[in-house]
């Protein structure tokens, strides 16, 4: 390790030094957002050299990396010395805060915030007010409430959040599942990235089926044919649509039967016509809506005749499953 420049040791100053990657401790838990170097970063370092130093705590037997992990990896691959700025002796909390501040200006994702707070929560006597301020999180925000719920989950779920497979909005629902049920649920998200609405719906339905029938989540998913759906070679969109359909069918069996009968009746009675027939409120009432688009008086006369033929049918009861004449 060679000192390049030593500045006066006051809070506004730091020392610059050079060292090789193998002489540096670059495995700190505070490097919670580290990713491999991008091709663009690698090319820049190769062609133009290191323009910005990495941050280290250089007061121990060897420099401890505080920020700049991607540059360290790339420079090691290029077999070059690493320019470091020594911030001095730092606590684990200060190392984490310095790491966050080194990424200032970036919009932090839910996954990044979870990774950061999982680190800080594990520290003793942490100044959480300062941590939240550095991360840009409002202390009374819904986002923080969801993050705190998420932090009750096993840490392995963080990778699914970071990958965008499961939204943070699911934290409240997921928090209610037992450990073995959470393990079974991972199959839903391992290869599929769910929207917020669909993810919350499918998890809520699974929880309600489990409570109603007294079965495990693994059994719910087996009954829904999850393994077969995932192995069928469907597109992600089609696979999620199929899973939602199968889970909803089991959560609302009576409603699903009513919907199926309604659709069959609509196909039958509207065949050969231009009329569109829908049930507008999920069978909370007996209402039915009929609509048609017209472009001429002749069209109006034609669809009027079609409507009369529909009204004359004797098999319309399934359009009004709640009864009535």
Following DSSP, what letter does each residue of 42-59 receive, concatenated?
A: HHHHHHH---SPEEEE-S
Domain ranges of the chain: 2-100, 107-251, 272-319
> In this model, does residue 162 exceed pLDDT 60?
yes
Residue 297 CA to its chain's centroid (Å): 52
Burial level of 318, CB count in 10 A (0-12/13-18/19+)?
A: middle
Which pLDDT band holds residue 324 (cuts at 50, 70, 90)? Answer: low
Residue 170 CA to its chain's centroid (Å): 8
Mean pLDDT of 277-291: 86
**CA nearest 26: which of 59, 61, 60, 73?**
73
**CA nearest 307: which of 262, 265, 279, 274?**
274
Residue 129 CA to its chain's centroid (Å): 26
Could you read off the pLDDT of 87-112 as tens digits, one per residue? 999 999 999 999 999 988 889 999 99
pTM for this prediction: 0.80
DSSP secondary structure letter of residue 321: T
User: Which stretches within 103-195 are classed as H helix?
Assistant: 110-121, 128-135, 142-150, 157-162, 171-175, 179-189
| CATH for the stretch 2-100 | 3.90.1530.10
C-alpha–C-alpha distance, residues 69 and 55, integer Å:
9
Q: Mean pLDDT across the chain, nearest whole number?
A: 91
């Amino acid at each position: 390790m060679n000192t390049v420049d030593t500045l006066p040791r006051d809070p506004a100053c730091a020392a610059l030094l050079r060292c090789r990657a193998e002489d540096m401790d670059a495995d700190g838990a505070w490097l919670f957002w580290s990713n491999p170097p991008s091709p663009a970063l690698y090319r820049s370092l190769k062609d133009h050299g290191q323009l910005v130093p990495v941050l280290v705590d250089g007061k121990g037997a060897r420099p401890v990396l505080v920020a700049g992990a991607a540059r360290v990896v790339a420079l090691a691959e290029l077999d070059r010395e690493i320019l470091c700025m020594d911030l001095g002796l730092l606590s684990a909390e200060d190392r984490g805060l310095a790491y966050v501040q080194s990424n200032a200006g970036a919009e932090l994702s839910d996954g990044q915030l979870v990774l950061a707070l999982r680190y800080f929560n594990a520290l003793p006597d942490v100044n959480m007010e300062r941590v939240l301020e550095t991360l840009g999180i409002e202390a009374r925000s819904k986002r923080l409430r969801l993050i705190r719920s998420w932090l009750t989950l096993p840490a392995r779920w963080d990778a699914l959040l970071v990958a965008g497979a499961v939204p943070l909005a699911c934290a409240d629902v997921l928090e209610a599942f037992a450990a073995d049920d959470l393990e079974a649920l991972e199959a839903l998200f391992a290869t599929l990235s769910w929207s917020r609405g669909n993810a919350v719906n499918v998890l809520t339905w699974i929880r309600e089926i489990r409570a109603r029938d007294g079965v495990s989540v693994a059994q719910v998913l087996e009954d829904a044919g999850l393994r077969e759906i995932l192995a069928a070679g469907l597109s992600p969109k089609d696979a999620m649509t199929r899973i939602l359909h199968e889970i909803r069918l089991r959560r609302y069996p009576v409603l699903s039967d009513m919907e199926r009968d309604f659709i069959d009746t609509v196909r039958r009675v509207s065949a050969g016509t231009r009329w569109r027939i829908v049930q507008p409120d999920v069978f909370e009432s007996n209402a039915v809506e009929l609509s048609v688009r017209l472009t001429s008086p002749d069209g109006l006369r034609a669809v009027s005749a079609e409507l009369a033929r529909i009204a004359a049918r004797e098999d319309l009861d399934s359009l009004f499953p709640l009864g009535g004449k």
